[in-house]
Amino acid sequence: MSGNFLEEFDGYQEIAQATQMSRKYGADYSLDRHGADQFINRLHPARIDLRVADVIPETPSTKTLRLVSAAGPLPPFQAGQYLALFVEVDHVRTSRPYSISSPPNQIGYYEITVRRVEGGLVSNYLLDDVGPGDRLTASGPAGHFYHNPLCHQKEMVCLAGGSGITPFYSMIREVWDCGLDRTIRLIYGNRTVDEIVFHDQLTSLAERFRNFTYRPVVEKPAAGWDGPTGYITRDLIQETVGDVSSKTFYLCGPQAMYDFCLAELAALGVERRRIRREVYGPPPAITQAPGWPPEVSAEDLFTVTIQGGPTFTARAAEPLLTGLERAGLATPSLCRSGECSQCRVRVVSGRVFEPAGALVRRSDRRYGYVHACVSYPLTDLEIAT
């Protein structure tokens, strides 16, 4: 046998020549691996340190927080994405997502616009206790609620409810600041006139730009209101938009608004594939949701055991994620509305309620995983995190 026994194998010479060429003329990109990691981490950081630069009152119940970076440049985002803020309030470590209301072409700061929720833990904290100079920790920008020019139409119809205006305010300003070739028809529902966020700014934009239509609608109008009243009905949509074909529809607001508008759009013949949605959290009255077992009441308490770990008590009408956080058990989360899979846990024994449309991957479901942010205990549980 010759000195190198590998030469006996078919194709050896070709492989040896290719290796020689690579060594002579090729570049070893593995040397740059850490440079690439650094770049990717700048674009998609897991956490960002922010400082509150300003607080801008918008309505009696809503303020905008202007947030600048406390370290390094802010990562870019798509208009419509959100940040999850990580906070500790009343000794509970938790998070809440807030859509970025400033446009992505403004690279010096992010703005989030927060509306007070009666009895809510984090909205009240942000509105009452956070001020200029305070530091906040957030996730990088996240979410899939944005215009994708590859598969969405240039004609956008945006249906907003309450604080659900925020991603649209970012989209609208990007379109006009950057002169993008798009049309936006916005129908924006609120309970009362003084709850309409960005009303003056939106009215002024609609007066200046032919490609932007603004239709505010209020449920309980004050004297002198001459705009539409009630909900975002099929008639109002038809009247504002005209022909509904070749348009992409974007819905953002509470679950009740989404359920209502979806039925109206279906009645107008808008296919589900042309509807994009962002729901602002789990349904508020979960025991009223279709399929909730009548024998379980909202205040029923169940014991939840973490496999090989502690035990805590959870209330039937509270998402499992909230129970975990109250018990001091850190659980990853971003969207808190069942979409991002960060909070998934495996139910080893017992039953949970998941509202219709809970977005759990088929493979996850097969192994008993649920999204803790939209799962409610119906029995004692054993879970694995």
Ligand X SMILES: Cc1cc2nc3c(=O)[nH]c(=O)nc-3n(C[C@H](O)[C@H](O)[C@H](O)COP(=O)(O)OP(=O)(O)OC[C@H]3O[C@@H](n4cnc5c(N)ncnc54)[C@H](O)[C@@H]3O)c2cc1C
Per CB under 6 A, residues contacting ligand FES are 333-336, 338-343, 371, 373
User: What are the two backbone dihedrals, phi and then psi, of residue 302, each rounded to the nearest 5 degrees?
Assistant: -130, 155
**270 and 263 Cβ atoms separated by less than 8 Å:** no
CB nearer to ligand X: give 187 or 374: 374
97 binds, among ligand X, ligand FES, none (CB under 5 to 8 A by kind): ligand X
Structure tokens at 341: 């899979």
Contact pattern from residue 139 through residue 158 relative to ligand X, giving x for each residue in contact according to CB under 6 A and a dash for the rest: ----x---------------
- Which residues have a Cβ under 8 Å from the Cβ of 276 and sit 6 or more positions away? 145, 152, 248, 249, 250, 251
141 binds, among ligand FES, ligand X, none (CB under 5 to 8 A by kind): none
**Residue among 45, 42, 55, 63 at smallest CA distance from 137:** 45
Answer yes or no whether residue 289 interacts with ligand X by CB under 6 A. Answer: no
334 binds, among ligand FES, ligand X, none (CB under 5 to 8 A by kind): ligand FES
**Residue among 191, 192, 216, 220 at smallest CA distance from 202:** 216
CB nearer to ligand X: give 244 or 286: 286
**Other C-beta atoms lying within 10 Å of the C-beta of residue 172:** 26
Answer yes or no whether residue 168 interacts with ligand X by CB under 6 A. Answer: no
CA dist 330 and 248 (Å) reads: 38
Binding positions for ligand X, 310-339, rule CB under 6 A: 318, 335-337
142 binds, among ligand FES, ligand X, none (CB under 5 to 8 A by kind): none
- DSSP per residue over 89-108, as a string? ETTEEEEEEEEB-S-TT--S
333 binds, among ligand FES, ligand X, none (CB under 5 to 8 A by kind): ligand FES
**Other C-beta atoms lying within 10 Å of the C-beta of residue 281:** 18
CB nearer to ligand FES: give 164 or 338: 338
61 binds, among ligand X, ligand FES, none (CB under 5 to 8 A by kind): none
Q: Shortest approach of ligand X to residue 287 CB, angstroms?
A: 11
Pick the binder of ligand X from 63, 67, 79, 82 (CB under 6 A): 82
CA dist 50 and 28 (Å) reads: 37
Answer yes or no whether residue 169 interacts with ligand X by CB under 6 A. Answer: no
Structure tokens at 288: 């009223």
Structure tokens at 71: 């370290």
CB nearer to ligand X: give 122 or 378: 122
